Structure 1
Amino acid sequence: MGKQVIEPFLTVANYRFIEQQAHKILRALTTTKDKNVILAVRGIVKADVIDSFTWSEEEEKVIQPLIDITDRTEGEAFLEQLTSYIVPFKTVEASKLKSLFKKEKKLKLPTLEEMDFQHISYLAWDDPGKLRRYMVIEQDSGFKALKGTFTHPSTKGICALCNQHSDVVRLTTSVKGEVPGTFTKHYNYICADSQLCNQQVTDIEKVRTFFDRVTK
Structure 2
Amino acid sequence: MREPFIRNHQYNVIKKQAGILQHALGTVADLKILESVKYTTESKIMEMFPGATAEQKQMLETVSTLRTKEDFAKYLRDLEAYLTEFPAITAKQIQKLFPKNKKLKLPDLAAIDYRYVTYLSWIDIASNKLFIVYPVNGQFVGVEGRYNPTNKKNYCFVCNRFEELALFSAITKKRPAGTSPDYYKAVGNYMCAKSHDCNKNITDTTALEKFIDAVMG
Shared fold, TM over 0.5: yes
Unmatched segments (≥5 aa) in structure 1: none
Tell me by how many angstroms 1:52 deviates.
Answer: 5.5
Paired AA for residue 23 in structure 2: R
**Other-structure match for 1:95:** 92
Q: Could you tell me how far apart the structure 1 residues matched to 2:166 and 2:103 are?
A: 24
- The root-mean-square deviation of aligned C-alpha atoms, in Å, is 1.6
- Matched position secondary structure for 1:183: coil
Paired AA for residue 133 in structure 1: L
- Matched position secondary structure for 1:150: strand
**Other-structure match for 2:208:** 207
**Other-structure match for 1:79:** 76
Tell me by how many angstroms 1:152 deviates.
Answer: 2.6
Task: Give the alignment of 1:25-104 within 5 angstroms.
Answer: 25-51=21-47, 53-54=49-50, 55-104=52-101
Q: Could you tell me how far apart the structure 1 residues matched to 2:46 and 2:135 are?
A: 25
Deviant stretches of 4+, over 4 Å: none
Q: Contact (CA 8 Å) 2:147, 2:169: kept in 1 or not?
A: yes
**Over residues 92-127 of structure 1, what are the superposed CA-to-partner deviations in whole Å (9 max), with x where a residue is unaligned?**
111111111111131111111111111111101001
**Over residues 29-60 of structure 1, what are the superposed CA-to-partner deviations in whole Å (9 max), with x where a residue is unaligned?**
12222222221111111221124640232221
Taking structure 1 as the reference length, what is the TM-score of the superposition? 0.92
**Over residues 59-104 of structure 1, what are the superposed CA-to-partner deviations in whole Å (9 max), with x where a residue is unaligned?**
2112011122112110110111101111100121111111111111
Q: Percent identity?
A: 26
**Over residues 126-173 of structure 1, what are the superposed CA-to-partner deviations in whole Å (9 max), with x where a residue is unaligned?**
011221110011122221111111213432221111111211111111
- Matched position secondary structure for 2:89: coil
**Other-structure match for 1:22:** 18
Q: Could you tell me how far apart the structure 2 residues matched to 1:31 and 1:215 are?
A: 47
Task: Give the alignment of 1:108-147 within 5 angstroms.
Answer: 108-147=105-144
Q: Does 1:184 align with 2:185?
A: yes
Q: Could you tell me how far apart the structure 1 residues matched to 2:171 and 2:66 are?
A: 47
Q: Does 1:160 align with 2:161?
A: no
Moved more, 205-214 or 114-123: 205-214
Name the CA shift for 1:120/1:158 in 2 (closer, same or farther; >3 Å). same
**Other-structure match for 1:150:** 147
- Matched position secondary structure for 1:98: helix
Q: Could you tell me how far apart the structure 1 residues matched to 2:80 and 2:91 are?
A: 26
Moved more, 50-59 or 150-159: 50-59
Q: Contact (CA 8 Å) 1:160, 1:210: kept in 2 or not?
A: no
- Matched position secondary structure for 1:26: helix
Name the CA shift for 1:188/1:29 in 2 (closer, same or farther; >3 Å). same
Q: Could you tell me how far apart the structure 2 residues matched to 1:63 and 1:6 are?
A: 14
Moved more, 51-60 or 139-148: 51-60
Q: Does 1:12 align with 2:13?
A: no
Taking structure 2 as the reference length, what is the TM-score of the superposition? 0.91
